[in-house]
Amino acid sequence: MANIFSSLVLHAIFGLVGFAGALGMSVNFAKEKENLSTLTKTGMIMAYVGTVVSSILGFASATNNNPIVVGGLTVAAVVYSGVKFLKPAGEASKN
């Protein structure tokens, strides 16, 4: 049991570290989206989505798939991503 718990904790820690890295990369390049290649944009999106999903799955397995935790984290991730990255073109220059 202790071995499973330690692997879940490590999964959550590495998931959060990956999430922070992908978020930092996305925020740093958010103002330069038009200058990035399609491959770079796709890589950033895949890294961000992959770390968000990995973090949610880690928390889900740590809480025995508690639907409130999984649903809350999913809604929070979608809302935050929408607010942060889906701004209209005119608002992007204000930041």
pLDDT digits (tens, 9 = 90+) for 47-60: 777 777 777 777 77
Nearest to 86 by CA among 47, 58, 45: 45
Give the model's pLDDT for residue 5.
Answer: 65
pLDDT band at 4 (very low <50, low <70, confident <90, very high): low
Q: How many domains does the chain have?
A: 1
Q: Is 32 a member of any domain?
A: yes
Contact indicator for 56, 73 with CB cutoff of 8 Å: yes
pTM of model > 0.85: no
In a domain, 76, yes or no: yes
Q: How far is CA 75 from the centre of its chain?
A: 12
Q: Is residue 82 part of a domain?
A: yes
| Residue 79 pLDDT exceeds 70 | yes
Q: Do the domain assignments include residue 94?
A: no
- Residue 93 counted as domain residue: no
Mean pLDDT within 77-90: 73
Q: Does residue 70 sit within a domain?
A: yes
Q: How far apart are CA 33 and CA 55, in angstroms?
A: 25
Give the per-residue pLDDT at 3. 61
- The domain in which residue 8 lies consists of 2-87
Q: Is residue 46 part of a domain?
A: yes
